[in-house]
Amino acid sequence: MLIIDCPYCGKRPELEFAYAGQAHLVRPRDPSTLDDEAWAQFLYMRANTRGMHAERWRHARGCGRFFNALRDTTSDRFAATYRIGTAPPVAAEDAR
């Protein structure tokens, strides 16, 4: 069971969290301007990263907040967790 560092609450066991998919996917402000191909890209296409992956988690059984994390998918190590709307910490991203 992983230990995840909620940016609001601190380190908690994985049981309290829910995975919420790839991070930094922004819903288009006006989806009607996208053609089918672009919309399908947004809707369905996801990275299948081997290594450092930016992803979202929700502290579902804690503060309820969504946040972002950088996790190495090969080792399950978390390089960083950071708040929604902020960019991934550069140092951690370099840790690839």
Partner 1 sequence: MSAWRTDSGGQIDRARSISFSFDGRIYPGFSGDTLASALLANGVHLVGRSFKYHRPRGILAAGAEEPNGLVTVIRDRARTTPNLRVTQVELYDGLVAISQNRWPSLANDFGRMNDLLSAFFPAGFYYKTFMWPRSAWKSLYEPIIRRAAGLGEAPTLPDPDRYAQRYAHCDVLIVGAGPAGLAAALAAADGGARVMLCDEQAEFGGSLLGSCGAKIDGHQASEWARQVSSELARNARVTLLPRTTAFGYFPHNLIGLNERLSEHLSVPRAGPARERLWQVRARRVVLATGSIERPLVFPGNDRPGVMLAGAAQTYLNRYGVRVGRRAALVTSNDSAYGVALDLKAAGVSIAAIADLRPNPVGHWVQAARASGIEVLVGSNVLGTRGDARVAGIHLVSGTYACDTVLMSGGFTPSVHLFSQSRGKLAWSEPMQAFIPGASAEAERSAGACRGIFDLVEALTDGYTAGSDALPDSATRRATPVDWTSRVSALPVDYAPYLGALPGADEPGRQKAFVDWQHDVTVKDLQLASREGFRSIEHVKRYTTTGMATDQGKTSNLNAMAIVARNIGVPLAQVGLTTFRMPYTPTTFGSFAGASRGDLFDPVRKTATHSWAQARGAVFENVGLWKRARYFPLAGEDMHGAVNRECAAVRAGCGVFDASTLGKIEVVGPGAAEFLNRLYINSWSSLAVGRSRYGILCREDGFIYDDGVIARIASDRFHVTTTTGGAPRVLSMMEDYRQTEWPELDVWLTSTTEQWAVIAVQGPNSRKVLAKIVTGIDLSDAAMPHMSVQNGLVCGVPTRLFRVSFSGELGFEVNVPADYGLAVWEAINAAGADLGMVAYGTESMHVMRAEKGYIIVGQDTDGTMTPDDAGLSWAIGKAKPDFVGKRSLARASMRSPSRKQLVGLRTLDPKVVLEEGAQVAERPGLKAPMPLLGHVTSSYFSAVLGSSIALAVVAGGRARLGQTLYVPMPDGDIAAAVTSPVFYDPTGARING
Does residue 22 interact with partner 1 by CB under 8 A?
no
- Minimum CB separation from partner 1 for residue 23, in Å? 9
- Minimum CB separation from partner 1 for residue 84, in Å? 5
Answer left, alpha or beta for residue 85, where phi above 0 means left and psi between -120 and 50 means alpha.
Answer: left
- Of 7, 12, 16, 20, the one binding partner 1 (CB under 8 A) is 20
Q: How far apart are CA 71 and CA 93, in angstroms?
A: 10
CB 14 within 8 Å of CB 3: yes
- Of 32, 50, 91, 94, the one binding partner 1 (CB under 8 A) is 32
